[in-house]
Amino acid sequence: RRGLFGGTELARSSAVVIGHQDQGADTKVWSSCVMAAHNTALVLVAICVQVANAWVPPAVGRIGALAARPNLSAAGRSAGSAPLKMGLEIANDGEDEDAEEGINWMPPLTMTADVEKEDGAQVFPLFPLGSVVYLPNTEHILSIFEPRYRSMYNDILLSGGRSFATCMVNEETGQFAETAMIFYLDELKEVSQQTNDQVKYICKHQATRRVNLKKVLNPKVWKDGSTYLKVQVEDLEDVDTEETYPDDDQLLMQVFREVVDLQDKLKEEPRFSPTLFSMFNSETNLEDEEVWSLVNLWQTLANERVGAVRKKKTDEVSRRHERYGRL
């Protein structure tokens, strides 16, 4: 990562630079710059959120007429987004309440009997992974310890498919997101002996493509944990893959550049490196992969900021404990 990210210190597995604040800046200038950076960052967050919404219905593959829209509501529905099924037919009585936020949730699981897949339909194991949004063309490492998922990895290795679906889970309701990501297993390492069988496998995956979940075929096992879920899926196809959005791309890159420049000026930590712009071939005609890369960069920055705050607070607590111990 050193070819892309400068600075004196790098956070592990991050795409952002750890810098140091300029303590000698004038207070008024500093406050003004911080506010400007904050406001600009909010714009970029909003734009990136809209782009991120492209991978969950009801958004399209790329942002549409972004500059002309006063809000960040979804631009339309992706192809193939039919009413959902959960071992039974689901009536489409209207849009989900969360649709305005770009996420469609499946109905809550009911402990119905197993159902058959439709002829010719795609079926994958389902490995729900909490509230994390997984983006296309990214790599992820998972530690596998639950018996049902140990079994799942054995099965995908034996079948040769090496793939499974993963989706977000609503933290409040337990519902699955309608849109899932297909993970392809690149590498698997058994670590049973090293971990005293606490962890069975450490696995490296590539997030390859997006799908819509159509049916959970064995919903009863979710509650008892006897084995892993299986789902019928349908490929999610963006409806505007042939369209270009030069004005939107230019706006997106302009705001991104402003954020990077302000972060560099303020020596904000963590921050983006100006060398990141070498990743993009054009600032007025972004490829889909480049848009996803930009979203991934912003997601990484947000995670690193959380980590930085956590470390700062932990260090502060440790210092206070040390002072208390010396009293």
Model pLDDT for residues 167-215, shown as the tens digit of each residue: 999 988 889 999 999 999 999 999 999 999 999 999 999 999 999 999 9
Question: d(Cα 117, Cα 137) in Å, to the nearest integer?
Answer: 28
pLDDT of residue 101: 59
pTM of full prediction above 0.85: no
Strand ranges (E), the chain: 9-10, 17-18, 122-126, 139-144, 163-169, 176-190, 201-216, 229-235
| Both tokens assigned to 140 | 């992820």
- In three-state secondary structure terms, 162 is coil
pLDDT of residue 1: 25
pLDDT digits (tens, 9 = 90+) for 114-146: 888 999 999 999 999 988 888 998 999 999 999
C-alpha torsion 236→64→169→91, nearest 10:
-70
- In three-state secondary structure terms, 226 is coil
Do residues 221 and 152 lie in contact, with contact meaning Cβ atoms separated by under 8 Å?
no
Question: d(Cα 16, Cα 302) in Å, to the nearest integer?
Answer: 10
Q: Which residue ranges of the chain lie beneath pLDDT 70?
A: 1-101
